[in-house]
Amino acid sequence: MHSTFSDWILYSVFCIPLLIIATSCSTEHDVANPQRGGSAQRTYAYVDRLDGSINAATMMSLDTAAPVASPLVLGSRTYAIATTRNTLERFDHGARIWSVACGAGTYVRTGMVADAASTVYAALTNGEILAVSTTGQILWRMRTPDGASIVSDLLLTNDRIVGVSASNHVIALACATGAVAYYTSTSTPLLHACCADAVGNVYTVRADEMPALSCIDARGTVRWTTPLDLAAMRMHPLIASNHVIVGGTSTGGRGTVISVRTDGTVAWTKDLSAIPQYGSCSGDTLYIVAMERGMLDRPSSHIYAVHGSGKELWNVWYDQGLRSPCYVSSDCMAVCSSPTLKAEWTNVLMLYRNGRIRRLVDLGNEPLTTDLPDVDADGALVFACADTSALLRIEHKSLTDLLGR
């Protein structure tokens, strides 16, 4: 497409001010460094010199205690946050809307979840699960039958809240009332994670020396259990292309990813040169983040793109320790990284959809919570800062979108 004079005018209007800002907050290699500030919100914008993309990293200070977990995105600039003050709070554009007390010595233990009405469901350290309405009213508060706390992130499926307890049970509660639909016991230790399909089947993984995948139906009955040819589980299970994907270390010491059909039969097995740690999917493509073995002080990683049929599409190596799943948008991907596994800070790698590095966003010395970030409606990553009451939001906006092309 040929440029016109009006295009150059628009480019100058949008880019010249941002380039001036970028000069003061990024290095010549286009690395953004958001710093702590006294104001309620500070935004650091910069332009990708390769394709004209506009990016921004925003630090939003909140009038609350430090978060204990990553925020739960409820809407545009609206978040639910669990704090060290033993509260669950909702903020809208930096202003507190409501605050709910969890109880003395009690706080949110695992990842929260929200439904379409923005009702927030949270699991507490005392074994309770509570539901809080969009106005801050506690709709119900239910303790697990044996008092064991939930150790997995909560899932929302088929109008139920699902989680794995410390006593190796899988619990399902009705979203509307908190009534226990089932509390299924397993005789083996479970991985502190589960996944669910669209019809309410929940999939759990045995986490001892004999890994196996089990399916629990909507009535709480174990439908099947499939042994896995793995020596140890590493990756949390996920649903991709109507299959359940699991990964870990094979009996031969290699990284392995296994795809299991919803009837319990194995669809395919793929060996990797690195150990899978995180998985995510977009359409028919599965993205596996894997760590190389024996590289603890200076870790290196791979991202594998695998079609739902098991065919490898590409594989890219990075000299960083990748510490999150790939977050995939229409034109780019993002993954959290660190030059060492011991670092208290992290970077965000912005990648093209073919795995090529687009830019490295350096978060400086801002310690983040160890939980994974959430993604808002604009595709931005939202982190909680571990030692300050602040959120960090990293967004990406294409210049072509601003020009309306």
- pLDDT at residue number 82: 86
- pLDDT at residue number 386: 67
Per residue in 195-206, is it b (16+ CB within 10 Å) or e — as a string? bbbeebbbbbbb
How many CB atoms within 10 Å of residue 312? 12
Nearest to 389 by CA among 123, 141, 36: 36
- pLDDT at residue number 302: 93
Pairing of strands 347-351, 357-362: antiparallel
Alpha-helical runs (H) found in 184-312: none
Residues 210, 256, 189: CA angle, nearest 5 degrees:
25
Which residues lie closer than 8 Å to 323 by C-beta, 6 or more apart? 336, 337, 338, 346
Q: How is residue 66 annotated by DSSP?
A: P
Q: Taking the mean position of all CA atoms in its chain, how far away is CA 253?
A: 27
CA 38, CA 208: separation in Å to the nearest integer?
48
- pLDDT at residue number 220: 95
- pLDDT at residue number 194: 93
pLDDT along the chain (405 residues), means of 10: 44 40 32 35 48 61 74 85 87 88 84 92 93 96 93 93 94 96 86 91 90 94 94 92 92 91 96 93 92 69 94 90 83 78 66 82 64 75 74 63 36
Long-range contacts, 196-201 (Cβ 8 Å, 24+): 196/155, 196/157, 196/158, 196/162, 196/239, 197/157, 197/239, 197/242, 197/262, 198/157, 198/158, 199/158, 200/157, 200/158, 200/160, 201/262
148: exposed, middle or buried (C-beta count within 10 Å: 0-12, 13-18, 19+)? middle
- pLDDT at residue number 293: 65
